[in-house]
């Protein structure tokens, strides 16, 4: 089976859906979702979107805060460009009906703005504590009504289709092969332009705030296709995920701390002031390391986030999602402390792209968490992620629209997926075992605090897994689990190799062997052999 489109978007989060809406008037658009359309990182985002929207705030302040949170490694020109796009992005979302929380006490601006870690001003606009859901549903409602956009669910992309592999004299991208999970068949999705909007890689860790789909598919596919990647060592661990045996992947938004929540030890004492003068509102890398330090020092399983000193009405109004979720586990956040631990949350590096979202391969773009744009540096500032998705959807669409007008691309004939030399697997236990082993040693050896010995130990293990999984992949028909494991082992290797290359502690990369920050600023760029 084969589908033919002008634009192929892989991923249905904020980046992918925003781009689809912007491109739909200029060509036929396909959106591929590897699971349900709403099974995305965007859907789980609670906090909000950072943007300069008035008052005493300024673009310069937002830029400075971003670069400071990023430990100086951000690309200033990119930061300035993205921050300048913020107000327009928010206005566009308001126009399509995103129900941002209204302000009741301030006449300067109609919407409530909160303050999160690393920000010097209140600039985070939000829809209560379920901003991502509000954005995702509003965008999806518009996308589903557009007759020029085709939506494909439960289709996991396998690899980029490239000109050289087709025997052509170019290495342009012409779409992807994808496994249609309901039928088990591999389908060809042809396109003049392919955009990776596949999200991050945090499922490579044992504990993560991300949904199960965050397996680094876009990074791994781009790497196999020959694209460079950058700064993969900078994996952000969100400081506060709900600690409960039945609470899988539930994040407690930074806005709880922004509105006065305290981090406390089991005896009720606060501790963040010992690590940073900003206390609970220090950047995420500092807060996560502080919690990790206290847990190891005291031998405790979690710390606690306490907002109970606020009124019950305030808490329920501002954090209805968290209130309801915690109640399911017998925790009343209006009177009880919330048990929390850090968990892998965000990939600050990714596929190397330029200011338009272009990768090293003609016709292939990457936007959102999958991409390394230079915005986040060594540590993403809170609520800059959705801003990046929306801003780069605009930058990429502007560039692709011009390219469509100026070029006349003919899609070549693409051969069907060849399964003649493979069989159904009779060893699925290999996949599940390797999956567990990979995520456990990444958590143990490549986590919040690192050492050369731990990284080298992880490298030896990942090299063995790569061989096993490659051999397995070459002999058996592809399945969703096998494809995700193949991608996870690739991104794990990229994270480990990048971490071994950085001989300093900066932002999210903290190593006991190189505890100081170096004077020179340098990205870690890896190039496929």
State the catalytic residues.
Answer: 284
The C-alpha atoms of residue 229 and residue 219 are separated, in whole angstroms, by 8
Q: Give the residue among 117, 210, 126 at the shortest CA–CA distance from 387.
A: 126
Sign of CA dihedral 214, 220, 222, 223: positive
Q: Is 514 exposed, middle or buried (0-12, 13-18, 19+ CB in 10 A)?
A: middle
- Cβ-contact 189, 32 below 8 angstroms: yes
User: Cα dihedral angle (15, 16, 17, 22), rounded to 10 degrees?
Assistant: 90
The C-alpha atoms of residue 358 and residue 180 are separated, in whole angstroms, by 27
- What are the helix (H) ranges across 356-504? 385-406, 428-445, 452-475, 480-501
The C-alpha atoms of residue 459 and residue 72 are separated, in whole angstroms, by 28
**Radius of gyration, alpha carbons of the chain:** 22
Coil/strand/helix, residue 187 = strand
- Give the angle 172-174-180 at the CA atoms, nearest 5°: 145
What are the residues whose beta carbons fall under 8 Å from the beta carbon of 248, sequence distance 6 or more? none
């Amino acid at each position: 089976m084969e589908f033919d489109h002008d634009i192929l978007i892989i991923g249905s989060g904020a980046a992918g859906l925003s781009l689809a809406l912007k491109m739909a008037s200029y060509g036929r658009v396909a959106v591929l979702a590897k699971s349900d359309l709403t099974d995305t990182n965007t859907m789980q985002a609670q906090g909000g979107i950072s943007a300069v929207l008035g008052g005493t705030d300024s673009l310069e302040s937002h830029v400075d805060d971003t670069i400071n949170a990023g430990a100086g490694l951000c690309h200033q020109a990119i930061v300035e460009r993205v921050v300048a796009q913020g107000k327009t992005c928010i206005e566009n979302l308001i126009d399509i009906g995103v129900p941002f929380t209204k302000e009741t006490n301030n006449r300067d601006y109609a919407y409530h703005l909160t303050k999160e870690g690393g920000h010097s001003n209140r600039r985070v606009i939000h829809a209560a504590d379920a901003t991502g859901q509000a954005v995702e549903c509003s965008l999806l409602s518009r996308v589903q009504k557009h007759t020029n956009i085709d939506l494909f669910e439960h289709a996991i992309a396998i690899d980029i289709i490239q000109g050289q592999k087709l025997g052509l004299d170019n290495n342009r991208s012409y779409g992807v092969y994808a496994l249609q999970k309901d039928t088990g068949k591999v389908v060809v999705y042809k396109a003049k332009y392919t955009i990776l909007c596949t999200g991050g890689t945090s499922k490579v860790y044992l504990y993560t705030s991300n949904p199960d789909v965050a397996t680094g598919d876009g990074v791994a596919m781009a790497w196999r296709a020959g694209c460079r990647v950058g700064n993969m060592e900078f994996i952000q661990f969100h400081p506060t995920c709900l600690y409960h045996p039945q609470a899988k992947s539930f994040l407690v938004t930074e806005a709880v701390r922004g509105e006065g929540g305290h981090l406390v030890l089991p005896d009720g004492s606060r501790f963040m002031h010992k690590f940073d003068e900003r206390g609970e509102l220090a950047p995420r890398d500092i807060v996560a390391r502080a919690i990790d330090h206290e847990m190891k020092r005291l031998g405790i399983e979690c710390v606690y986030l306490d907002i109970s000193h606020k009124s019950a009405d305030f808490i329920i109004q501002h954090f209805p999602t968290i209130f309801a979720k915690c109640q399911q586990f017998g925790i009343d956040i209006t009177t009880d402390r919330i048990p929390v631990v850090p968990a892998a949350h965000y990939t600050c590096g990714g596929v190397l792209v330029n200011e338009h979202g272009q990768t090293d391969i003609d016709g292939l773009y990457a936007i959102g968490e999958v991409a390394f744009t230079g915005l986040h540096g060594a540590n993403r500032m809170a609520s800059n992620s959705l801003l990046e998705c929306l801003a780069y959807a605009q930058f990429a669409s502007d560039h692709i629209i011009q390219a469509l007008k100026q070029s006349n691309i003919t899609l070549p004939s693409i051969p069907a997926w060849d399964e003649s030399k493979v069989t159904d697997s009779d060893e699925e236990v290999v996949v599940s075992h390797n999956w567990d082993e990979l995520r456990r040693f990444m958590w143990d050896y490549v986590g919040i605090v690192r050492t050369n010995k731990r990284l080298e130990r992880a490298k030896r293990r990942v090299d063995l897994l790569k061989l096993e999984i490659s051999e397995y992949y070459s002999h058996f028909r592809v399945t969703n689990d096998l494809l995700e494991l193949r991608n996870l082992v690739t991104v794990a290797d990229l994270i480990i190799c990048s971490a071994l290359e950085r001989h300093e502690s900066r932002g999210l990369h903290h190593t006991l062997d190189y505890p100081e920050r170096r004077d020179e600023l340098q990205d870690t760029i890896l190039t496929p052999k």
